[in-house]
């Protein structure tokens, strides 16, 4: 295999980690929204930390390997519009996901406290679980990542 093939293959694996970690976080959060007991919510939101690690590994790997691919190909540069837009959307995806994730962290801490204090449902916990701002930030993060994927596949001129 050539260096290009190795770089491309590893870049695709890293991109898979980036996207699949985000999907995992979203699915686990959606499952937590369907639970009433704070102990269950705390457990599920605790699992999202695994997805965040997968996203982080994928994000850093896809960036490093993507930049290595650009450096390896003499006919590509970071100044190519689709590459520059991809990098901007990659960063936007991380920023939006990070801001949205703060809400999940706050929700998890509240659920853990409620679980210790009798494990009874709380309107505040329900409000935090269904926060439309956090949902919009996380959805925006996923959308930006999907647009990056589309740009990587179709490589517009």
Residues 78-95, mean pLDDT to the nearest whole number = 95
Residues 128-152, mean pLDDT to the nearest whole number = 95
Burial of 17 (0-12, 13-18, 19+ CB in 10 A): buried
Quick one: what percent of the chain has pLDDT higher than 90?
A: 94
Residues 97-112, mean pLDDT to the nearest whole number = 96
pLDDT of residue 156: 80
Distance CA 46, CA 53 (A): 12
pLDDT of residue 155: 83
pLDDT of residue 39: 97
**3-state SS assignment for residue 157:** coil
Q: Residue 157: pLDDT above 70? A: no
pLDDT tier, 119 (very low <50, low <70, confident <90, very high otherwise): very high
pLDDT tier, 8 (very low <50, low <70, confident <90, very high otherwise): very high
Residue 47's Cβ-side half-sphere holds a number of Cα atoms within 13 Å equal to: 15
For 29-75, how does the pLDDT look when each residue is reduced to its tens digit (9 = 90+)?
A: 999 999 999 999 999 999 999 999 999 999 999 999 999 999 999 88
Helices and strands (DSSP H and E) totals, the chain: 5, 0
pLDDT of residue 4: 94
Picking from 15, 33, 2, 10, the residue whose alpha carbon sits closest to that of residue 130 is: 33
């Amino acid at each position: 295999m050539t260096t290009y093939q190795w770089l491309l293959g590893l870049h695709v694996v890293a991109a898979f980690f980036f996207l699949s970690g985000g999907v995992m976080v979203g699915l686990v959060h959606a499952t937590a929204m369907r639970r009433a007991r704070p102990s269950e919510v705390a457990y599920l939101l605790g699992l999202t930390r695994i997805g965040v690690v997968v996203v982080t590994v994928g994000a850093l790997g896809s960036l490093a390997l993507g930049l290595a691919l650009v450096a390896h190909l003499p006919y590509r540069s970071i100044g190519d519009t689709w590459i520059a837009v991809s990098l901007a959307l990659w960063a936007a995806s991380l920023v939006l996901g990070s801001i949205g994730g703060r809400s999940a962290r706050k929700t998890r801490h509240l659920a853990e406290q409620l679980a210790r204090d009798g494990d009874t449902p709380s309107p505040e916990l329900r409000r935090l679980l269904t926060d439309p701002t956090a949902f919009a930030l996380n959805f925006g993060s996923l959308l930006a990542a999907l647009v990056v994927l589309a740009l990587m596949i179709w490589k517009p001129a």
